């Protein structure tokens, strides 16, 4: 039986994480994270791609130390692996050459337990997730949902205080996900046994609200903890209840105001010369997706809501967000509060023929400093700008971004607007 806890199981205190950037420099991934994991809770992390959610889980598990700050386990600073944590990965992470039972046993053997206990614990864990009869099967013979059950059994076998799961249901179909969610909540609800707490990353606000006691919202890059929303509803929860829908709305508002702020926060204000030299990072959106968004908005009378766009177009929310950011950068949409609406220019664009669309697109690209810099460089290099030179320039001007991804987006946008062509065989950009 577990001891009653009077304090957090784990705490992240002022945690910062930096990685070496892809071309030298430093990538800031997490900034000043303060978060505790409490006994008997389910804590969900949500946030856009790249906001450092998986990194935060790995820090909590002690798979790597933070660059600054500390992770504590029952008040003790963590050195190495967190003894209270077991992790379930999105990609199952099973050994293909081992049977289900061997996959569970392997983590127990690593703990130097006597053989009898290894067998007993493995059987218990396999039973808990309903895998009896599958002990001798190999991962290749299993459905994705069953593979994830093995992942959960393996984590449960070590009797962790905290079960940490990184988007555990994103690789399985919706019905299986629903069933797995319910089973894991049942296992957690048994207060006599571990896991005491669950910490999981979710891509879905609905899922987070169905499961969590608290939802931690991360934003931006580097990831900061935007806010923590308490979910005071009893379980099981009804996602159609007014209380639930109110919380969905509340989280949508937080998410939107963080990712598409109505007032851009750019402090401190740079000098006029520095401003002139500053280039904005490009959201990695395809021109085709931006056109799709504009066309969808037109069918909705020119305005929609960020979350409606995602649900109507069946495009993942993260991708919609990137596309909307890109369209806003080009002044084709505006995003007051949660709405996404066509600007007058966006309306003209969507109603124009393809030639006029390209002209408008090109004019908008030239409003962006980055594209003007590329044009100037092309001019200085007498009409042939090598990929290598441009990548170096991008790495210097946008040290937090991956220059290769920026290059790809830049080329795709430039090609669509017929601003320049990219000669792949020679690795050079030339004017159209
Ligand atoms: N070991 C590493 N070395 C270098 N960079 C890393 C490493 N791990 C993560 N990163 C970078 O840190 C950033 C945040 O990654 P992370 O996977 O934590 O974000 P996330 O919010 O979980 O994103 P997603 O929702 O896409 O999974 C990314 O830009 C990633 O490339």
Query: What's the rounded mean pLDDT across residues 226-245?
Result: 93
266 vs 24 pLDDT, higher one:
24
User: Ligand 1 center to residue 224 CA distance, Å?
Assistant: 14
Lowest mean pLDDT: which of 107-116, 131-140, 295-304? 107-116
Residue 36 scores a pLDDT above 50: yes
Residues 44 and 80 placed together within one structural domain of the fold: yes
Residues 342 and 364 placed together within one structural domain of the fold: no
Q: Is the CB of 50 under 6 A from ligand 1?
A: yes
Residues 424 and 284 placed together within one structural domain of the fold: no
Residue that finishes a domain, picked among 235, 257, 279: 257
Is residue 5 domain-resident? no
Distance, in Å, from the CA atom of 35 to the CA atom of 46, rounded to the nearest integer, reads 14
Query: What's the rounded mean pLDDT across residues 362-369?
Result: 93
Where helices occur in 216-368 by DSSP H, the ranges are 242-259, 272-277, 287-299, 306-313, 317-329, 344-350, 354-365
pLDDT (tens digit per residue) in 183-234: 999 999 998 899 999 999 998 888 999 999 999 999 877 899 999 999 999 9
What pLDDT does residue 270 have?
Answer: 46
pLDDT band, residue 264 (cuts 50/70/90): very low
- Nearest-CA residue for atom 17 of ligand 1: 54
- Nearest-CA residue for atom 3 of ligand 1: 19
**Burial letters 352-374, b for 16+ CB under 10 A, else e:** eeeeebbebbbebbeebebbebb
Residues 46 and 187 placed together within one structural domain of the fold: yes
Ligand 1: which of 24, 50, 66, 398 to mutate, most ligand atoms within 8 Å of CB?
A: 50
Q: What is the CATH number of the domain that holds 211?
A: 3.40.50.300
Cis ω on the peptide bond leading into residue 51 (within 30° of 0)? Answer: no
Residue 101 scores a pLDDT above 70: yes
Does residue 389 contact residue 381 with C-beta atoms inside 8 Å?
yes
Residue 153 scores a pLDDT above 70: yes
pLDDT (tens digit per residue) in 385-411: 999 999 988 888 887 778 888 999 999
ipTM of predicted assembly, 2 dp:
0.96
User: Ligand 1 center to residue 55 CA distance, Å?
Assistant: 6
Residue that finishes a domain, picked among 257, 286, 317: 257
What are the φ/ψ torsions at residue 161 (nearest 5 degrees)?
-70, -35
User: Ligand 1 center to residue 222 CA distance, Å?
Assistant: 10
User: Ligand 1 center to residue 86 CA distance, Å?
Assistant: 20
Q: Is the CB of 19 under 6 A from ligand 1?
A: yes
Q: Determine the structural domain holding residue 366 and report its residue range.
A: 359-432
pLDDT band, residue 355 (cuts 50/70/90): very high
> In sequence order, which residues have a C-beta less than 8 Å from that of residue 29 and are 6 or more positions away?
17, 18, 19, 52, 55, 221, 222, 223
Residues 94 and 217 placed together within one structural domain of the fold: yes
Q: Is the CB of 62 under 6 A from ligand 1?
A: no
pLDDT band, residue 277 (cuts 50/70/90): low
What pLDDT does residue 17 have?
Answer: 96
User: Ligand 1 center to residue 54 CA distance, Å?
Assistant: 7
Sheet holding 162-166, edge to edge: 85-88, 162-166, 197-201, 42-46, 214-219, 224-230
**Burial letters 314-341, b for 16+ CB under 10 A, else e:** ebebbbbbbbbbbbbbbbbbbbeebebb
User: Ligand 1 center to residue 52 CA distance, Å?
Assistant: 6
Is residue 3 domain-resident? no
User: Ligand 1 center to residue 30 CA distance, Å?
Assistant: 10
- CA 330 to mean position of chain CA atoms: 24
Q: Is the CB of 222 under 6 A from ligand 1?
A: no
Residues 378 and 275 placed together within one structural domain of the fold: no
Residues 277 and 241 placed together within one structural domain of the fold: no
Q: Which residues is 12 bridged to in the sheet?
A: 35, 71
Q: Is the CB of 219 under 6 A from ligand 1?
A: no
Is residue 248 domain-resident? yes
Residues 278 and 248 placed together within one structural domain of the fold: no
* Residue 204: Cβ within 10 Å count: 16
Is residue 4 domain-resident? no
Q: What percent of the chain has pLDDT over 90?
A: 63
What pLDDT does residue 370 have?
Answer: 93
Q: Is the CB of 54 under 6 A from ligand 1?
A: yes
- Nearest-CA residue for atom 4 of ligand 1: 19
Structure tokens at 267: 């402090």
Residues 45 and 19 placed together within one structural domain of the fold: yes
* Average pLDDT for the chain: 89
Is residue 129 domain-resident? yes
- Nearest-CA residue for atom 26 of ligand 1: 49
Residue that finishes a domain, picked among 351, 367, 400: 351
Ligand 1: which of 12, 18, 19, 20 to mutate, most ligand atoms within 8 Å of CB?
A: 19
Number of domains into which the chain is organized: 3
pLDDT band, residue 31 (cuts 50/70/90): very high
Is residue 244 domain-resident? yes
Is residue 67 domain-resident? yes
- Nearest-CA residue for atom 1 of ligand 1: 19
Distance, in Å, from the CA atom of 375 to the CA atom of 279, rounded to the nearest integer, reads 14
Residues 387 and 341 placed together within one structural domain of the fold: no
Residues 185 and 285 placed together within one structural domain of the fold: no
Q: Is the CB of 29 under 6 A from ligand 1?
A: yes
Ligand 1: which of 18, 27, 220 to mutate, most ligand atoms within 8 Å of CB?
A: 27
Residues 339 and 363 placed together within one structural domain of the fold: no
């Amino acid at each position: 039986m577990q001891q009653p806890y009077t304090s957090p199981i784990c705490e992240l205190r002022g945690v910062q994480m930096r990685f070496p950037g892809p071309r030298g420099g430093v990538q800031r991934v997490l900034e000043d994270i303060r978060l505790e994991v409490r006994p008997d809770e389910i804590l969900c992390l949500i946030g856009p791609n790249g906001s450092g959610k998986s990194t935060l889980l790995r820090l909590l598990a002690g798979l790597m130390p933070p660059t600054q700050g500390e992770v504590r386990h029952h008040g003790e600073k963590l050195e190495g692996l967190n003894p209270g944590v077991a992790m379930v990965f999105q990609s199952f992470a099973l050994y293909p050459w081992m049977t289900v039972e061997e996959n569970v046993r392997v983590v127990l053997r690593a703990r130097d337990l006597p053989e009898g206990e290894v067998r007993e614990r493995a059987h218990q864990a396999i039973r808990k997730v309903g895998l009896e009869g599958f002990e001798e099967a190999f991962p290749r013979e299993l459905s994705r949902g069953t593979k994830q059950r093995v992942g959960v059994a393996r984590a449960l076998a070590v009797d962790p205080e905290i079960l940490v799961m990184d988007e555990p249901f994103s690789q399985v179909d919706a019905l299986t996900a629903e069933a797995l969610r319910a089973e894991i909540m049942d296992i957690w609800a048994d207060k006599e046994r571990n896991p005491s707490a669950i910490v999981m990353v979710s891509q879905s606000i609905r899922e987070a609200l169905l499961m969590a006691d608290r939802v931690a919202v991360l934003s931006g890059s580097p990831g900061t903890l935007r806010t923590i929303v308490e979910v005071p509803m009893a379980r099981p929860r009804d996602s159609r209840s007014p209380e639930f829908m109110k919380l969905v709305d509340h989280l949508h508002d937080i998410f939107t105001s963080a990712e598409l702020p109505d007032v851009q926060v750019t402090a401190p204000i740079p000098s006029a010369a520095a401003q002139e030299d500053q280039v904005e990072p490009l959201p990695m959106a395809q021109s085709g997706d931006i056109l799709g968004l504009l066309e969808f908005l037109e069918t909705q009378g020119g305005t929609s809501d960020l979350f409606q766009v995602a649900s109507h177009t069946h495009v993942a929310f993260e991708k919609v967000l990137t596309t909307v950011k890109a369209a806003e950068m080009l002044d084709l949409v505006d995003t007051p509060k949660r709405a996404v609406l066509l600007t007058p220019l966006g309306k003209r664009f969507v109603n124009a023929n393809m030639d006029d669309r390209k002209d408008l697109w090109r004019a908008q690209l030239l409003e962006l400093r980055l594209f003007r810099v590329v044009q100037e460089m092309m001019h200085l290099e007498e009409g042939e700008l090598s990929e290598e030179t441009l990548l170096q320039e991008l790495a210097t001007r946008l040290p937090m971004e991956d220059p290769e991804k920026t290059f790809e987006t830049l080329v795709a946008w430039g090609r669509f607007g017929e601003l320049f062509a990219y000669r792949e065989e020679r690795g050079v950009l030339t004017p159209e």
